[in-house]
Amino acid sequence: MKVIEYALTAPWEAVLLEPAAGSSTGVVVLAGSSGRVDRQRARLLAEQGFLSLAIRWFGGPGQPEGICEVPLETFVAAVELLRSRGAGRVGILGVSKGAEAALLTAVHEPRVDVVVAVSPTSLVWCNVGPGLDGRQRPYRSSWTWRGRPLPFVPLDDSWLPAVQGDGPLAIRGWYEQSERTFASRLDAAAIAVEKARADVLLVAGADDAMWPSLRYAQQLAARRQAAGARVEVVARDDAGHRPRLPGEGPAAPSTAFLYGGTASGDTLLGEAAWTPLLNRLRS
């Protein structure tokens, strides 16, 4: 399918990919803590007939350098842009911290019709990197809404990795220890996904080495089910933090982090999620 690509510089760096035949459905594509504009994933969706918008939501001009008190209005503006381009139905696809943003945006913005949360969390976490003031500590919320920080869970900096050395780290244990240390903050920081009007698809690997995304997905699903809201979880035991959608190829290796899973498991999880993802966006 022929796709027309537009580069945007305001209100954020972004790429808008529009099927030449037009589309009545739009999707906002959010990368995780890499901070990149995920052009490849946006193009993949545009080739399926969706008006696709991938944005830089931190690290750009006028934005915090890290994921620190990022306004959820950043993502509402992306939804509005797609609506202004004729999308009558809008979804948000996010991975990792981008999934956290996608879920929270849907909780606060009823014009989000679909959320696809890949390797999600069920909690609002603290900042990853510095805010607009250049400071990383003390910990602050990753997100704000209408100028107010959302309740969050800090990280327990006493955590030590199970394997010491200079190689890439598996930091899942850091998040698990932090939940235990700050157990009194979990309820306030829980993502109230049952309040979202959007349909929700959760994609998670049991072998995620970054954080326990399958447990988080199950917690999110339980909240939705208790409220009688639609939700689906797609999971595999041998997948990690970076499921790969059909056509994307293997994820690039990292010298900083261990993501868990196997290449085949990540690919198979992406394939299993592909049809439910497309069906929800087209529904």
Asked if residue 248 has pLDDT above 80, the reply is yes
Query: Could you list the residue range(s) of the whole structural domain that residue 190 is in?
Result: 3-282
For range 197-205, the mean pLDDT = 98
Can you give the pLDDT at residue 163? 75
Q: Residue 230: name the closest of 272, 267, 183, 280 by CA.
A: 280
User: Which tokens is 174 given?
Assistant: 């850091």
pLDDT-based confidence at residue 183 (cuts at 50, 70, 90) = very high
Task: Give per-residue pLDDT as tens, 250-281.
Answer: 898 898 899 999 999 999 999 999 999 999 99
CA distance 40 to 247: 9
Confidence of residue 283 (pLDDT cuts 50, 70, 90): confident
User: What's the number of domains the chain is made of?
Assistant: 1
* HEC secondary structure over the chain: CCEEEEEECCCCCEEEEEECCCCCEEEEEECCCCCCCCHHHHHHHHCCCCEEEEECCCCCCCCCCCECCEECHHHHHHHHHHHHCCCCEEEEEEECHHHHHHHHHHHHCCCCCEEEEECCCCECEECECCCCCCCCCCCCECEEECCEECCCECCCCCCCCCCCCCCCECCHHHHHHHHHHCHHHHHHHECCHHHCCCEEEEEEECCCCCCCHHHHHHHHHHHHHHCCCCEEEEEECCCCCCCCCCCCCCCCCCCCECCCCCHHHHHHHHHHHHHHHHHHHHC
Predicted confidence at residue 35, as pLDDT, reads 87
Contact 184, 144 (CB under 8 A): no
Render pLDDT for 97-137 as a digit per residue (tens, 0 to 9). 999 999 999 999 999 999 999 999 999 999 999 999 999 99
pLDDT digits (tens, 9 = 90+) for 127-171: 999 999 999 999 999 999 999 999 999 999 999 998 766 789 999
Answer whether 119's CB lies under 8 Å from 55's CB: no
- Specify the pLDDT at position 24: 95
CA–CA separation, 101 and 92 (whole Å): 9
Residue range 37-50: mean pLDDT, rounded: 97
Give the chain's mean pLDDT.
96
Q: Domain with 99 in it: what CATH number?
A: 3.40.50.1820
